[in-house]
Amino acid sequence: EATTVVVIGAGPAGLTVANLLRRSGIDCVVLERQSRAYVGQRQRAGIVETRAVRMFESWGLADRVLGGVPSEGILEFRVDGERHLVRDYDHDGSAGPPARICPQQVLVQKLIAAYLEDGGDLRFEAADVSLHDLTGDRPTVRYRAADGTPRSLTCSFVAGCDGDHGISRAAVPAGALTAHAYDHGIGWLTVLADAPPPAHPLFAVSEHGFAAHFPRGPHSSRFYLQCPPDDDPGAWPDTRVRDALRTRLADPALPFGPITDREVFRLRSLVHDPLRYGRLFLVGDAAHIVSPMGGKGMNLALYGADLFARAVRDVVRNDDETALRDYSRRCLRRVWNDQEFSDWLTRTLHDAGDDTLHGPFRRNLARARLDRLFTSPAAGRAFAELMTGVEPD
């Protein structure tokens, strides 16, 4: 069997690549290890930034992919119980629509539906995917279909969109890519709870440590609590989580319902360079991990997908490889920009609170940065530019 592009992985990156190629009239096959039910349930990121909303608009996909999803343009920073509302899109609206609050699994379900509606080829439960001849003209992808039959596909390009633990990056010989990894030394306990969402996405800073409260639907919330890295989630029964949130959010009456999911993870960042090996191109989490502060992980996946799909379109339509040769450099430029923002916000919101992490000097620096954000219009605009991902033209 032959196609133009084989996409490995049906997360936000792979499904966006597939939809954009489909809309460009380019053949592709998506291979996903899990079932449709599994990928449509997996809870992860939750914000689609302005730049990504515009990207879907430019492909005529915004209504189908983001229709009915609420928008949000304000963040609350609660510092020692004092509220500060910060607009996270430009003040005159010229950047376009504000960000959308869209849980990853909702985006994934809608991308799957749009792709299949357009006649796309998506194969779930594809096992033992392996990549061959990546440096030749026609790479081969082998796998075992859901019914157990061995299959093979030849193609012009492979899009490695199978996340940080996928097989795509693992297929690259040692030494061909450099990994730049950073551990922030911070743990987060995250819980999903049947609790009413906040008025606006909320970050809380206090001596008790960082906390956050984000909407995840009309009756559900995701909460984050700073904790020691590698803390045991079992050490956080419901009542302890509730009490810690009430203290850190300075809201003794915070309504809190049963916890449906509970996890501890370390804040880490990782960038691979370059994002290409022969005819394999890495997109999304397979290429980079961003610490969750600032919500850039999924948005970078969407950015890379758009860059890659446009570059392939240039090759197929005009025999022009310029953009494809430039994919890694352009994508990495945005990746480092967003890593810097995420790191800045991570340091600011943790150092400004509990000063056992980096001491009182760092605490005062972080407080000065917050003060500047709340009072200087120029600082507010710079923040909005980073949150929206839209640079002035």
Q: Which is nearer to ligand APR, 23 or 44 (CB)?
A: 44
Q: Is 345 one of the binding residues for ligand APR (CB under 6 A)?
A: no
Which region among 9-17, 189-197, 224-232, 238-246 touches ligand APR (by CB under 6 A)? 9-17
Q: Is 14 one of the binding residues for ligand APR (CB under 6 A)?
A: yes
Instruction: Say how far apart CA 94 and CA 230 lie, in whole Å.
Output: 43
User: Does the bond joining 196 to the residue before it have cis omega, within 30 degrees of 0?
Assistant: no
Q: Is 167 one of the binding residues for ligand APR (CB under 6 A)?
A: yes
* Least distance between ligand APR and beta carbon 40 (Å): 10
Return phi, psi of residue 386, to 5°.
-70, -40
In this structure, the chain runs to a length of 393
CB neighbours of residue 250 within 10 Å: 17
DSSP letter assigned to residue 70? P
Span 85-144, contacts to ligand APR by CB under 6 A: 104, 126, 129
* Among 5, 6, 9, 291, contact with ligand APR (rule: CB under 6 A): 9
* Among 5, 6, 7, 10, contact with ligand APR (rule: CB under 6 A): 10
Q: Is 12 one of the binding residues for ligand APR (CB under 6 A)?
A: yes
Query: What does 163-194 look like in DSSP terms, one character per residue?
Result: -TTSSTGGGSPTTSSEEEEEEEEEEEEEEEES
Residue 159: name the closest of 174, 188, 139 by CA: 139
Q: Is 29 one of the binding residues for ligand APR (CB under 6 A)?
A: no
Reported as type and span, the H/E element at residue 72 is strand 71-72
Q: Is 31 one of the binding residues for ligand APR (CB under 6 A)?
A: yes
* Least distance between ligand APR and beta carbon 285 (Å): 4
Q: Which residue is associated with the tokens 């299959």?
A: 151
Q: Is 285 one of the binding residues for ligand APR (CB under 6 A)?
A: yes
Q: Which is nearer to ligand APR, 126 or 155 (CB)?
A: 126
Q: Is 313 one of the binding residues for ligand APR (CB under 6 A)?
A: no
